[in-house]
Chains A and B, each alone.
Chain A
Amino acid sequence: MKLPRFSRKTLCIPYAVFLVFFIIIPMCVILFYAFTDKEMNFSFSNFLRFFSDPTKLSTIAYSIVISLITTVICLVIAYPVALILARSRLKKKFVILMLFVLPMWINFVLRVNALRELFNLLAQAEALAWLENANIFKTVVGMVYDFLPFMILPLYTTMLKIDNSLYEASADLGGNAFVTFFRITLPLSVPGIMSGVTMVFLPSMTNYVVSDMLGNAKVTIIGKFISDYFGNDWHMGSMIALVLLIVVFVSTWLTGGFKSEENVRGANL
């Protein structure tokens, strides 16, 4: 009997199995549920129900707005930090970088819980009593707290790659600090901005743990919505999941995420 030849392709079998059972089949299941009714007959009813229901549409819009706010705040905080860090000649700058990344190593639920307790404590104070019901505010703070490292890292790695002589060349050619920033630094850090934005915007749309724990369950984002529906109506839940998938796809496409491998650089943590 001829022994089967062991080739490099054989090494892919474990992943191929994983791919089939955990990605391809579940995707088909979602597609199946999204386009069937309770009697398992093919129907567009979920699709129609979703797009005719203002609450559902507004929840999607609401999620996008919260994610956008989170992303913008992260970008505004992270950009100067990453720039200063990347351009400093500090020998110990990895320590500072480590401080930003360190929270990522502490359990996520623990961190959000801690933040909630902190808010509760602060709300005791009379001047800060408004915190009690500032659900959106608290949700956004929680999201920023959670996702900030994902913005700093890609920005930092991208900026690190900008050769110092380019800044010198700009100054040499008469560019002041303003010109140098807008014509050299900013355009050359766009890949970092793109991958940072992708890594913050998309997860913050679905991460309902934060909104649940910090928003007194009053802030409903799309992720929460899906999880609720999967309690009793798998068909609607699947449809919402599918819509989300398309939103994610479109936004990735818009930010150029599919263009080249370069844009995911720095996404290695």
Chain B
Amino acid sequence: MAEHIIELKGVTKYFGENLIIDNVSFSVNKGEFITFLGPSGCGKTTTLRMIAGFDLPTSGQILLNGEDISALPPNKRPVNTVFQRYALFPHLNVYENIAFGLKCKRVLNTYRNDKGEEYTKKEKLTKKEIAAKVKKALEIVDLEGFEKRSISTLSGGQQQRVAIARAIVNEPEILLLDEPLGALDLKMRKEMQIELKKMHDRLGITFIYVTHDQEEALTMSDTIVVMADGVVQQMGTPTDIYNEPANTFVADFIGESNIMNGTVVGKNKVRFCGKDFVCVDDFPANEPVDVVVRPEDIRMCAPEDGMLAGEVISVVFKGIHYEITVQVGKYEFVINSTQSRKVGDKIGMTIAPDEIHLMKPHFITNVYDGVITKHNTVRFGDGEWDCDVTQLYPGSYIDEEEYLITKTGEKIDLTDTEVRVEVGLNDIEISDEEDAGGVMGHIISIIYKGDHYRLIVRTEENEEDYVFSTEDLWNENDYVSVLIPKEKIKLTLKPKAKEDDAA
């Protein structure tokens, strides 16, 4: 069984009021090359910084070899970091930069006194030892002879190597790399990727790598941790993550995907695009699911032989393959194939059962906590909305004084009543006119689902999310108004909180 070198247990991190990391738990095996992958702002760098000790978790534990190091300062941890912009000391030369950690180091040496008793002494490394170690580190990063050079005379790639040498010279148990290749050009980056991988094999220590580049993650890692919104979305080998994405976010973020809404119609049978398909994943019948098919997993054939038939609407040459977009009824599919087709060609498509990936949809409906106001509107999700409050009490109506009269004639003041608010995915519209609707927000996510887009609009004030489907194309980060028709807001009463709770 592999040993866990580092383990995160329920780690949560707030910066002020903002939740950055939400209850993250996972463990890393000794000697592994593990990558934290995710879009910017997903919490990957914060997770790394907590392992390094620059940030402390608000709650939860970080265990190193089974010991809790959550509160240990960075200089007491046997980990070293390669910083995003290298953070080399500008006033020291290459040798002094690399030797910095060694000069701080104290080692236990064992001696024998006159009486033959053993005793230990904490001692600095000798100049000779330091010089030997620096020389070896420079050899590993291929910078022999650069000892006397000043940092400002080095190119970006060379600085990168010095930064790596400065970290590995301390022989850390874990090497942390925070987007170390981000500042390099594409060719340099590819070379460094291969070199880093080789270095990992040679040194045999654990590498924890942070990147937003999915290709980099897939190329280098033994294990990938996909993160979004401060939550681990999926953890697994690159093959697993690519072939069996756990949800539509992972499917969309890693590689390209055709994502569609489907319904399970029987054992190992799913219906989407108006056809039934055999699949491997097993879900209860009648359950709505997200169907994910990779573009390279769709085979083209003659129209009459295919499970689906459609017309080619665009062909783009991508070097190794063609990216072919096919219109099937009102759905669009993207196919990657080494064979080309012409625009307008009628083609058939087949998908093998094990290439159809079903996943539980992330969002079935929007649910909020709401409060009824004085004027019988409801406040939720950073906005105030017109709604029909009579649905809370069947058969009731509103009198002239805005009181609710129930079926039995009881008069109720609904002000400050707490309710559960539900809004369906198809019941929200957005507009780019300001103040057209209840709230304003930015579009933070767009996923194409064959015949429509799934959007998430997030408000600025309390970061409330509105998830919905639309056929219109919007851009990420657009600032929009959210509209919900009065009759689409479903209200239910919340069970009354026990009043003796306070006592």
Contacts and interface: CB of A to CB of B under 8 A. Distances in A.
Interface of A: 163, 165-166, 168-176, 179, 183-184, 187-188
Given A173-B101, A174-B105, A188-B91, A165 B85 contact: yes
B361 interface: no
Contacts of B54: 168, 171-172
A116 B75 CA distance: 51
Interface in B95-110: 100-101, 104-105
Contact of A165 (B53, B80, B87): B87
Contacts of B74: 168, 171-172
B87 A174 contact: no
Contact of A169 (B73, B89, B91): B89
B75 A175 contact: yes
Give chain A's interface secondary structure class.
helix
A168 B88 CA distance: 11
Given A165-B85, A173-B170, 20 more contacts: A163-B87, A165-B83, A166-B87, A168-B52, A168-B74, A168-B83, A168-B87, A169-B87, A171-B54, A172-B74, A172-B79, A172-B80, A173-B80, A173-B101, A174-B75, A174-B101, A174-B105, A175-B100, A175-B101, A176-B104
B73 A171 contact: yes
**Minimum-distance CB pairs A-B, first 3:** A173-B101, A174-B104, A165-B87
A176 B105 CA distance: 11
Contacts of A179: 104
Contacts of A187: 91
Contacts of A175: 75, 100-101, 104
Contacts of B116: none
A90 to B, nearest CB: 14
B81 interface: yes
A188 B90 contact: yes
B166 interface: yes
Nearest to A171: B74
Contacts of B53: 171-172
A169 B105 contact: no
Contacts of A173: 75, 80, 100-101, 104, 166-167, 170
Interface in B48-89: 52-54, 73-75, 79-81, 83-85, 87-89
A58 B373 CA distance: 85
A128 B101 CA distance: 53
A179 B79 CA distance: 18
A177 to B, nearest CB: 9
A173 B54 CA distance: 12
A184 B89 contact: yes
B81 A172 contact: yes
Interface residues of B, number: 24
Nearest to B90: A188
A172 B104 CA distance: 11
Nearest to A179: B104
Contact of A170 (B79, B84, B85, B100): B100
A172 B75 contact: yes
Contacts of B167: 172-173
A166 B104 CA distance: 15
B188 to A, nearest CB: 21
**Interface-centre pick from A172, A179, A184, A188 (highest chain B CB count, 10 A):** A172
A217 to B, nearest CB: 46
Interface in B140-172: 166-167, 170
A229 B166 CA distance: 62
Contact of B81 (A163, A169, A188): A169
Interface string B306-323: 000000000000000000
Contacts of B84: 165
Nearest to B88: A169
B347 to A, nearest CB: 54
B421 to A, nearest CB: 36
Nearest to A190: B91
B8 to A, nearest CB: 19
Nearest to A168: B54
Contacts of B90: 188
A175 B100 CA distance: 8
A168 B49 CA distance: 10
28 contacts: A163-B87, A168-B52, A168-B54, A168-B74, A168-B83, A168-B87, A169-B81, A169-B83, A169-B88, A169-B166, A171-B53, A171-B54, A171-B75, A172-B53, A172-B74, A172-B75, A172-B79, A172-B80, A172-B167, A173-B80, A173-B100, A173-B101, A173-B104, A174-B101, A179-B104, A184-B89, A188-B90, A188-B91
Contact of B75 (A165, A176, A183, A188): A176
B134 to A, nearest CB: 13
Nearest to A175: B104
Nearest to B77: A172
**Interface-centre pick from A163, A176, A183, A187 (highest chain B CB count, 10 A):** A183
Contacts of B105: 174
B81 A166 contact: no
A99 to B, nearest CB: 26
B270 to A, nearest CB: 50
Contacts of A183: 100
Contacts of B101: 173-175
A176 B89 CA distance: 16
Contacts of A184: 89
Contacts of B83: 165, 168-169
A176 B74 CA distance: 9
Contacts of B170: 173-174
**Interface-centre pick from A174, A183, A184 (highest chain B CB count, 10 A):** A174
Nearest to B178: A165
A188 B91 CA distance: 7
Contacts of A163: 85, 87
A169 B91 CA distance: 14
